[in-house]
Structure 1
């Protein structure tokens, strides 16, 4: 009985140590985080809010707000599990939780210890959004010719599903060259137009025929489905 209890205690201790080690290895300091994201072949994910992202973010970072559960799950579903994910937030709390969740989903994930606060404190650069002229409703309507089929792609550079959809959209536009007009809108910057069009998620795809809206869908869509709607 004593031997059995000793074995169980040993196994339990090993499990705890392994768990602690696994958890600690998800934390990456500024120096190693910078080295990892500079090498490429990975995915950089900002898990803060859109407003925080606009105030300053790491170069080439995608965005999935950890505090918005539905949005976070939708956007991270488009990430590639064959590539590691490096996450960050303001101070490291949200990114630690997001990293744990990503690992549970089968991703190899790490997070920046101390968040973007530590990044800035170490003198590392951040990018900030610049003010852009907003497209008005009249401007938008002028982009939609009434004698053509028009595919509008409202995306954002920081949106993971948009990255997946981009080559599909481009391929469809090329295959339908001459009879299809492709209009690309940066929804991340054109916030006023998104409100007017009631666009709440990226990407949002809209098809017009003879100037009339005939189809609209958000998120990941197959090339087959889009092509069917274009015919």
Structure 2
């Protein structure tokens, strides 16, 4: 699809937008609501794309169209309906289509993080990002958790697309990654998709 058709497809609703560039490229500007799965990082690409919804079309793009074409071919063999942006972000920008960009945010240090996990007797920390497919899949689970255990714990979300130094210190290698702190001390952590019941159990340790 050319940029205009791609944009109209996005506006039609019920689609998933997938950016297959690197995280550095993504930060330089991306299509609103796009998720990220780096095609050049095979492990990351496979891990993140397995959480896409096969009942909804996937609109995929890269910088020029080469990587997205390769990614689209693989996704189709896995049962997804895929549409590609011809010319990629380069052509999208040349045609004046809207581009989102991250605003500069200061890196969170260990001291600030320690203050966050001491804000309540019981804290659930969520290292995630809006562009992460499994993180989005966890959103309704977290919302339900907050309803079911209302007032019993504090949920702290750490944007892994920003606070990369803290991620390294915490040994967070993949997203999402959850931690439970009780009275400021870590008592549980787990990487990846976690069920509602498992989170409840972790918070009741």
Q: Same fold (TM over 0.5)?
A: yes
Q: What is the alpha-carbon distance in structure 1 between the residues aligned to residue 119 and residue 158 of structure 2?
A: 19
Tell me how many residue pairs correspond in the alignment: 204
Aligned partners of 1:146 and 1:209 also within 8 Å: no
Matched, 1:41 2:14: yes
Give me the CA root mean square deviation.
1.3
Matched, 1:117 2:90: yes
- Larger relative helix fraction: 1
Task: Name 1:230's counterpart in structure 2.
Answer: 203
- Choose the corresponding residue for 1:155, options 128, 133, 138: 128
- Pairwise CA distance, 1:194: 1.3
- Choose the corresponding residue for 1:60, options 17, 29, 33: 33
- Pairwise CA distance, 1:150: 1.3
Post-superposition CA distance 1:31-51 (Å, at most 9, x none) = 211110121110000000000
Aligned partners of 2:130 and 2:136 also within 8 Å: yes
Post-superposition CA distance 1:176-225 (Å, at most 9, x none) = 12221211111111222212212121111001123221211111111122
Aligned partners of 2:120 and 2:153 also within 8 Å: no
Identify unmatched segments of 5+ residues in structure 2.
none
Q: What is the alpha-carbon distance in structure 2 between the residues aligned to residue 198 and residue 47 of structure 1?
A: 24
- Mapping for residues 122-141 of structure 1, pairs under 5 Å: 122-141=95-114
- Pairwise CA distance, 1:147: 6.2
Task: Name 2:144's counterpart in structure 1.
Answer: 171
Task: Name 2:75's counterpart in structure 1.
Answer: 102
Q: What is the alpha-carbon distance in structure 2 between the residues aligned to residue 196 and residue 162 of structure 1?
A: 20
Residues 118/212 of structure 1: CA separation in 2 closer, same or farther (3 Å cut): same
- Pairwise CA distance, 1:134: 1.8
Task: Name 1:69's counterpart in structure 2.
Answer: 42
Secondary structure of residue in 1 paired with 2:130: coil
Q: TM-score, normalised by structure 1?
A: 0.84
Identify unmatched segments of 5+ residues in structure 1.
1-27
Q: What is the alpha-carbon distance in structure 1 between the residues aligned to residue 195 and residue 152 of structure 2?
A: 20
